[in-house]
Amino acid sequence: MKPDQIDLLTTTGSPTLHPDGSRLVVAATRPDFRADAYVGQLWELTLDGGRRRLTRGFRDTAPRYSRDGGLLVFLRAAQGGKPQLFAMHAAGGEPVQLTDQPLGVAHFDISPDATTIVFAARVPEHGRYGTVDGVGAGLEDPRLITGFKYRMNGLGYTTDKRSQLFTVAVPSLDAEPYIAAVGRLKQEHQDGPGALEEQGAVPAALQLTTADADHLEPAFSADGQRILFTAALAQDADSTLVSDLHSIAPDGGDRRQLTNLDGGTLLGCSAPRPSSDGAWLFFLASDLSPSGLDFVARNTALYVQPTDDPQGVRRLTDAETVDVGDVQEIIADGPDSVLVVNRSRGRGELLRVSAAGRSDTLVTGPTVVTGAATAAGTVVVAYTDPSTAGDVAVVEGGALRPVSDFSADLHGRTRVAELQERSYPAPDGTPVHGWAVLPEGEGPHPVLLVIHGGPFAQYGWGYFDEAQVYAAAGYAVLLCNPRGAAGYGQAHGRVIKEAMGTVDLDDVLAFLDGALAEFDAMDDVRLGVMGGSYGGYLTAWTIAHDHRFQAAIVERGYLDPPSFVGSSDIGWFFSEQYTGTDPAHVAEQNPFAKIGQVRTPALVIHSEEDLRCPIEQAQRYYTALKKQGVETELLVFPGETHELSRSGSPWHRRQRFEHILRWWARHLPTAANPADAPVP
C-alpha cells in the first residue's frame, strides 16, 4: 500500500439487522482526497450477499432499525457540517431531517413504539461556537477554569458545551414537506445552525437535562417509560473518574441514580442496555479502586442488575482475563443475554453472556470484531482482519461468512503483506507476543520496530495501514504487545505501574532480538524504531538506553511526565497513576531526564491541537536534541489532534506517511524507498 492509496481504506460501522433477520444496513466510510474528508453512505445487504446503496449523503453513519422494522434512523453530516438525525422508511425513500443541533447529534436511541427518538447533543453557551454572528473563537469571552476536567482531546473545552439529552417526535414520513421552510432552506448557512428548527423545517426537540455535566449514551428502557444514560453527577465528580448510570422519565423528571449505591467499589460505568424483556439492565464498568482514580490496566467488565433492584448488581465477566471495553457497545440478544466484544491477544472476540453469567464465544481467531447485531436467531458482525479494512459477515457455526466486500479495491490494487504471528521470551522468561510483516524479496531488509500507544492497548489481527505502507516501501515491520499492553490480563498490564521503561523496554527489545535471530530476511544492523503516544514515550526511552538504531521517529509522545501534569487534558490523573509522585522516582521513568544520553537521529512528529500529549512535549524534546547536536527535525501538523494517524484529514495522513518514508529513505534506504526519494 502506498501513501496515496489510503482512500482505499473503507471501514464499516456497527450494523443494524432488520427484526425479521432478512437483511441488514451498515455504514461504509472512507477517506476522500478530493473533499479532504471522510465520506460514506448506508448500504443494505442481504444475507445471501446482495447489496444496494441505500443513501447518498456526504457522510451517513450509525444506522438503526426501529423495533418493528418499519423505520430506519441514522446520522447525516453535510460537507463541513455536523451530524444530524435523519429518518426514512426501512424499505427506502427520501430521508427526512429531524434535527438541526448547532454542534451536531451524537448517540441516539429509538423508542419501542418508534414514535420518539432520544439523543445526546452538545449545547453551546450563548456567545460561543458561532451562536452570535460575528463573534469568532478569538473574540469570545474569557473562560474561568475552576476544576480539573475542562478539556478533551479532539473536542476542546467541554464545560461550555455540555452534552445534554433531548427527545424529538418522529413525524409522518409520508406527510407533505415542511412547506413553510422550503423557500428558506437556502438561508441555512446565513441564519446559522439551529435555524431550521426555528423556521419549523425540522421538528422541535425537547431538552430533558440541564445539569453542568455531560449526559451520554441515552437508551430507552424496554417498555419506553424510562430513559437510561451515563453521567458523572456526584459532588466529587470533578476529581474522580467515577461515572454512573441514571434514568429519567421521558419528560426529563424523576432522575434516579442506578449504580455506585452501596458505598463499596467505585465503578466507571457506561453503555446501559436493557434486556429485551426489561427484566435486566446490563452495563460496562471498570473498578477504579477506592480512590476513584486508579484506572491503570483495569479491564472493563460486563455487569448486570435486576431492573427493579439497583442493589442487586453483579459482575458477569472475569475482570482479570476478559476485557469488553474496546468496543463500547452492548447488543441485546434475547430476554436475558447480550453480545459484547472481548479483546484478547490481538483478537476482537464476540461473546454471548447471559444474566446468569454463562459465556459462549461466538467468534474468535485472527479477526477483530468491531460491531454486531442480532435478530431472529441471526448474528452479524462488522470486522477487520489482516487483509480487510472493514466488512460484514454472518456468524455461522463459529465461523464468518462474508456478505460484503468493501475491501475489494484494496485487495485488487495493493499487495497485502502477511502477518506472521510470533512469541519470543523476555530476559525473565515472560513470552512477548506479536507479529512480523515482511516485504517482497529475499532481503535482508531493514527492520522497523513499531511500538503502540496506550500503553493499555494492543496490536492485533486487524488490517493495519502503518505496517502495510512500510512493508510496501521495503521494510520488515515488527509489532508486539509488551507488558503494559491490553489483552493479556490485568497483571500483564499493571506490571509497569510506577515502573515504566523497565520490563516494557525489555520486552520490545526481546521481540526484536528474537525476530532477528529467526528471520534471515531481516538485516540485524539496519534498524529503526518508532511509535506514537506511549509508543513515542518508549521510543524516546529506547534510544536513550540502546544505541543500535540508525534512526527513530518519536510521534505525539508522552515525553516529560512532570510537564504533562497540568498541560494534558488527562494530565491531572494519568501521569501520576503510571509513574507515581515521588520526584526522584518519576525522573527514573522520564525520557526527558535521560535525553542527554540520546545519540540516535530522531524525527519528532506532532499535531498543533493535540490536547492529549500537548505539543510542548515535542517542542521541548526537539529543542533539547538540537541543542546537544543530535540530528533531528520537527514535523508539525496544523489543525490536527492526537488522532492524526487514525482520523486526521486524508491529505495530512498522506503527507505524514510521505514524510515518514522520506526520513527512513535518508537513514534506511531501500530499493522501493531510495535515498534520493523526492521531498514531499
Query: Residues 113-151: pLDDT tens digits?
Result: 999 999 999 999 999 999 999 999 999 999 999 999 999
The number of beta carbons lying within 10 Å of the beta carbon of residue 362 is 19
SS3 104: coil
Residues of the chain above pLDDT 70, percent = 97
Dist CA 578 CA 542 (whole Å):
18
Closest listed residue to residue 348, CA positions, set 373, 325, 317:
325
Give the per-residue pLDDT at 281: 97
223, 248, 352, 421, 526 from 279: Cα distances, Å: 10, 17, 17, 43, 61
* Contact between 667 and 550 (Cβ < 8 Å): yes
Q: Is the dihedral of CA 426, 429, 430, 433 positive or negative?
A: positive
Single-letter amino acid code for the residue at 23: R
**pLDDT score of 414 more than 90:** yes
What backbone torsions phi and psi does residue 508 show, to the nearest 5 degrees?
A: -65, -35
598, 601, 607, 612: CA torsion to nearest 10: -30
In the DSSP assignment, the letter for residue 556 is S
Mean pLDDT check: name the lowest of 190-204, 209-223, 454-468. 190-204
Give the per-residue pLDDT at 266: 85
pLDDT band at 197 (very low <50, low <70, confident <90, very high): confident
Closest listed residue to residue 47, CA positions, set 70, 24, 72:
24
**pLDDT score of 294 more than 80:** yes
Q: DSSP string of 161-223?
A: EEEEEEEEEPPPTTSPP-HHHHTTGGGHHHH-TTHHHHHTSSPPPEE---SSS--EEEEE-TT
Long-range contacts of 133-137 (CB under 8 A, 24+ apart): 133/192
SS3 636: strand
- Three-class SS string for 479-545? EEECCCCCCCCHHHHHCCCCCCCCHHHHHHHHHHHHHHHHCCCEEEEEEEEEEECHHHHHHHHHHHH
Single-letter amino acid code for the residue at 645: S
Q: pLDDT digits over 503-525, tens only?
A: 999 999 999 999 999 999 999 99
pLDDT averaged over every residue in the chain: 95
Dist CA 501 CA 592 (whole Å):
12
Dist CA 473 CA 671 (whole Å):
8
SS3 377: coil
Give the per-residue pLDDT at 194: 67
Dist CA 542 CA 523 (whole Å):
19
| Interval 655-676 mean pLDDT | 97
Maximum C-alpha span of the chain = 74
Q: pLDDT digits over 460-472, tens only?
A: 999 999 999 999 9
pLDDT band at 182 (very low <50, low <70, confident <90, very high): very low
Residue matched to cell numbers 482479570: 320
Number of H helices, E strands in the chain: 14, 39
Q: Is the dihedral of CA 399, 401, 405, 406 positive or negative?
A: negative
pLDDT band at 539 (very low <50, low <70, confident <90, very high): very high
pLDDT band at 191 (very low <50, low <70, confident <90, very high): low
* Contact between 340 and 359 (Cβ < 8 Å): no
Mean pLDDT check: name the lowest of 176-190, 264-278, 286-300, 644-658. 176-190
* Contact between 599 and 630 (Cβ < 8 Å): yes
* Contact between 669 and 529 (Cβ < 8 Å): no
**pLDDT score of 181 more than 50:** no
Which of the two residues, 55 and 677, has the higher pLDDT score?
55
In the DSSP assignment, the letter for residue 678 is P
Dist CA 139 CA 128 (whole Å):
9
**pLDDT score of 178 more than 70:** no
Task: Write out the three cell numbers for 241.
Answer: 473518574
Give the per-residue pLDDT at 190: 46
**pLDDT score of 177 more than 90:** no
Q: pLDDT digits over 580-605, tens only?
A: 999 999 999 999 999 999 999 999 99
**pLDDT score of 487 more than 70:** yes
* Contact between 363 and 351 (Cβ < 8 Å): no
**pLDDT score of 185 more than 70:** no
Dist CA 400 CA 203 (whole Å):
41
**Do you find a cis peptide bond into 444, omega within 30 degrees of 0?**
yes
Give the per-residue pLDDT at 187: 43
Q: Which residues pair with 12 in a beta bridge?
A: 28
**pLDDT score of 186 more than 50:** no
Dist CA 229 CA 245 (whole Å):
6
pTM of the model: 0.96
Report helix angle 465-472 to 650-667, nearest 10.
40
pLDDT band at 193 (very low <50, low <70, confident <90, very high): low
Q: DSSP string of 137-157?
A: GGGSPP----SS--EETTTEE
**pLDDT score of 222 more than 50:** yes
* Contact between 170 and 98 (Cβ < 8 Å): yes
Q: Is the dihedral of CA 311, 315, 320, 322 positive or negative?
A: negative
Report strand pairing: 37-46 vs 23-32: antiparallel
Give the per-residue pLDDT at 180: 44
Where are the extended beta strands (E) located within 501-608?
522-532, 551-555, 602-607
The C-alpha angle with vertex 301 and arms to 533 and 247, in degrees rounded to 5, equals 105
Give the per-residue pLDDT at 192: 56
Using only C-alpha atoms, the chain has a radius of gyration, in whole angstroms, of 25
**pLDDT score of 183 more than 60:** no
Q: pLDDT digits over 300-320, tens only?
A: 999 999 999 988 999 999 999
Dist CA 667 CA 675 (whole Å):
8
Residue matched to cell numbers 514524510: 659
